[in-house]
Structure 1
């Protein structure tokens, strides 16, 4: 029954009864459009058992099932002395298992309880464990022994079916093709930390020639790079300085937008790009669509662009959905899923965050809301700001209710923006008083100091009185300005991080410091030395 191929569990290096399908998780291909008759999962589930975390051609995976699989993975990993798979890997395993079992059962394959027990004993011998150790590992994770034996029975069936396909490469090719053809929706959320190298192992090296996809009906055997629309540059504006190459470059591509015009990813270089893979049939995509539309509108003109990549739907379907949900940003059609595969998309929605140099900084699988989007892009916008970009303009009330606009200082004098956390922050009060001590020296340089916090006018007035401050204290109650400068909620407390931005008389940010903790302020003398 087990065959003589490399799929025998005893020869697998992965963990226990989850080894085989985890080995194939990397073969996943992007979700595709639904077949006729597909219906979305039921809305508003009321129990954990009903909450759907994935769907495979209409067959659901519930959160309860996923949690049981995670617990079993942890137990078997502990017995094998290996690291447990990530939650995302466990969910991908369940998706792949669904695809294989469907074919295996149609072929009449099955495994008996006795065969599962025999395989378990073989595993325990290999790991030098006894049945008491097995029972203890399951008990620690709250896993019934019946769940473990059922999982091993399923694995035996999967193993037997894949053994029929031939080599490991044949099985991987088979799985990749099944994933390409299947409609897979992932409704649980996974994220990767926004660090430059986070996707290095997961995504392929970008091709030497950017990928160009033909429109429906055109031949795709020999794609020819299309010319991207060239930006119109005011001759009075000097060309931007060349950027350093990114650490983890996003693969470039050209896709057609909903009007049939070619759009190339690299034409957005110099801006933060939020690349969102979606389809109108996907319930999770529908759940986040309006947030993406509002987010794109809110950050328009602030060095950020949202780019939506629609999977395998016609332009009319994608356009109707976008118009109904306010998705007023570039929308491209990945007609054959090639770009999705290039980016390792294994379920939708998936969102890739790309910095201004073109480097991939984070990946999120699942629904995103407006607050989560703001958290992801804050450090990317902060990286963008110190490169002599124009400072985001704003108008805020000061402590006495009068309005202050940044544009009022343009052409007149430099401005030092000091973001502090709150009226009750001791280190903030110390920094404000220290800045007051040096305020005459800032004015002698011709600079104004503006203090800003996520607060109301009343709190701003209290702060100014307590510190006996002479410079304006502004109230950013809606935190829109803190978000525009990339400092809002960086410490996870819905406040502005301690930060300083120096803006020259031309309205450009020429220096900045964003604190890594609540006490991380630069010395006033250091700030003063950088004022032009």
Structure 2
């Protein structure tokens, strides 16, 4: 089953209020409203895209080690995923799909990393729960997400809903701002130029990991 098919199946059960979710319809309507407004804002179109130079970053992995994008790109292309956090089931399914595709990325000498605004303990939880062999980097205060044009402020009504659902982003992220990155996937060439980008203001939509393979093949030919 493709990643998007898995996401669609989860979304159907979640929005139908099936156990164990039992989510009332007004909650779903608020989430739909927030997604529609983010799409309409055009924020995704303003994010970094293919042909742009990717912002360099230096972030810590869950063990406190510094991971530098410049160093990664010296060794090969980079597959980069921005995701919301361990609390997001759609993000966890994406991470699992990326892990399954990692052997193919390895064949082309590509590094795979994920970036989230969450704290290191939550990133360790993500790695453990999803059985990941690639690092999740902590984007403190969402600065790298901001540089890529992905960071947005949650509207007040969504903040109130998250509080009711005990989805405490300030604690998850150690950041009082109530901001998140739009989920995004990038392939960055060794010269730092973005070869592929997909930014999803609808967090239930994610590209297939296999879509990266053709881009990586082209990157090898150009290298």
Given the two structures, how large is their TM-score scaled by the length of structure 2?
0.65
Query: Could you say which residue in structure 1 is the equivalent of 2:190?
Result: 505
Query: Could you say which residue in structure 1 is the equivalent of 2:104?
Result: 441
Instruction: Give per-residue Cα distances to partners, 1:231-279, cap 9 Å, x unaligned.
Output: xxxxxxxxxxxxxxxxxxxxxxxxxxxxxxxxxxxxxxxxxxxxxxxxx
Instruction: Give per-residue Cα distances to partners, 1:123-169, cap 9 Å, x unaligned.
Output: xxxxxxxxxxxxxxxxxxxxxxxxxxxxxxxxxxxxxxxxxxxxxxx
Distance 1:519 1:464, change over 3 A: same
Contact persistence 2:50–2:197 (CA under 8 A)? no
Residue 145 of structure 2 is aligned to residue 482 of structure 1: yes
Contact persistence 1:491–1:497 (CA under 8 A)? no
Q: For 1:244-283, what aligned pairs fall within 5 Å after superposition?
A: none
Higher helix share: 2
Query: Max radius of gyration: which structure?
Result: 1
In structure 1, C-alpha distance between the alignment counterparts of 2:123 and 2:57, rounded to whole Å: 17
Q: For 1:307-318, what aligned pairs fall within 5 Å after superposition?
A: none
Q: Describe the SS at the equivalent of 1:427.
A: helix
Q: Describe the SS at the equivalent of 1:489.
A: strand
In structure 2, C-alpha distance between the alignment counterparts of 1:426 and 1:410, rounded to whole Å: 30
Contact persistence 1:413–1:447 (CA under 8 A)? yes
State the aligned residue count: 156
Query: Could you say which residue in structure 2 is the equivalent of 1:249?
Result: none
Residue 133 of structure 2 is aligned to residue 470 of structure 1: yes
Q: 2:87 aligns with which of 410, 415, 424?
A: 424
Supply the RMSD in Å over aligned alpha carbons.
1.8
Query: Could you say which residue in structure 2 is the equivalent of 1:515?
Result: 200
Distance 1:511 1:461, change over 3 A: same
Can you give the 5+ residue segments of structure 2 that lack an aligned partner in the other structure?
Answer: 1-39, 156-177
Q: Describe the SS at the equivalent of 1:481.
A: helix
Instruction: Give per-residue Cα distances to partners, 1:380-435, cap 9 Å, x unaligned.
Output: 641xx224222101111011110001111233200011011111111111110111
Contact persistence 2:50–2:195 (CA under 8 A)? yes
In structure 2, C-alpha distance between the alignment counterparts of 1:490 and 1:464, rounded to whole Å: 26
Query: Could you say which residue in structure 2 is the equivalent of 1:394?
Result: 57
In structure 1, C-alpha distance between the alignment counterparts of 2:123 and 2:94, rounded to whole Å: 15
Contact persistence 1:388–1:509 (CA under 8 A)? yes
In structure 2, C-alpha distance between the alignment counterparts of 1:470 and 1:402, rounded to whole Å: 15
Given the two structures, how large is their TM-score scaled by the length of structure 1?
0.28
Distance 1:490 1:449, change over 3 A: farther
In structure 2, C-alpha distance between the alignment counterparts of 1:412 and 1:400, rounded to whole Å: 22
Can you give the 5+ residue segments of structure 1 that lack an aligned partner in the other structure?
Answer: 1-192, 196-377
Contact persistence 2:44–2:201 (CA under 8 A)? no
| Higher RCO by CA contacts (8 Å cutoff, separation 6 or greater) | 2
Instruction: Give per-residue Cα distances to partners, 1:451-477, cap 9 Å, x unaligned.
Output: 111111111111011111001110112
In structure 2, C-alpha distance between the alignment counterparts of 1:425 and 1:194, rounded to whole Å: 22
